[in-house]
Amino acid sequence: MVERLVVWLYDTPIGVLRPPDERGTFGLEWLPDARQRWGDNSVILSTSLPIGDRFDKQPRRVRNFFENLLPEGPARAAMAKMIRVSETNTFELLAAFGRDCAGAVSLLLENETLKGDGDGGYRVLSTDDLRDELARIDVVPLGADLDGDFRPSLAGFQRKLLVGRTDDGEWSKPYGNAPSTWILKPDGNIPSAVNEFACLNFARMCGITVPAAELIHIDGVPTLAIHRYDRNGRDRVHQEDGLQATGFPSRMKYESDKGPSLRQLSVIVNEFGNPDDVDELLRRAILHLVLGNADAHSKNISLLHPSSDVGIKIGPIYDIASTVSMKPIDEFGNAREFTTQLGQFIDGVKDVNDVTRDDLVAEGISWGVGRGSAEAIIDGFLDTAREAANADDSGLREVLTQRVQRISVGRKGDLKG
- Catalytic residue list: 295
Cα–Cα distance for residue pair 364/358, rounded to 1 Å: 10
**Residue 11 Ramachandran class (φ > 0 left, ψ -120 to 50 alpha, else beta):** left
Cα–Cα distance for residue pair 367/379, rounded to 1 Å: 18
Strands 341-346 and 12-18, how do they pair?
unpaired
Backbone angles phi, psi at 13, to 5 degrees: -75, 115
Give the other-Cβ count within 10 Å of 314's Cβ: 22
Mapped onto helix, strand or coil, the DSSP state of residue 302 is strand
Q: Where are the beta strands (DSSP E) in 206-331?
A: 213-218, 221-227, 231-232, 235-236, 238-241, 302-305, 313-314
For CA atoms 92, 93, 99, 101, the dihedral sign is: negative
- Please count the residues of the chain: 417
Cα–Cα distance for residue pair 55/57, rounded to 1 Å: 6
Strands 161-165 and 171-176, how do they pair?
antiparallel
Cα–Cα distance for residue pair 269/368, rounded to 1 Å: 12
Cα–Cα distance for residue pair 78/254, rounded to 1 Å: 24
Q: 383 near 408, Cβ under 8 Å?
A: no
Q: Where are the beta strands (DSSP E) in 83-229?
A: 105-108, 120-124, 161-165, 171-176, 182-186, 213-218, 221-227
**E strand or H helix that includes residue 343:** strand 341-346
Q: 8 near 114, Cβ under 8 Å?
A: yes
**Residue 191 Ramachandran class (φ > 0 left, ψ -120 to 50 alpha, else beta):** beta
Q: 195 near 291, Cβ under 8 Å?
A: no
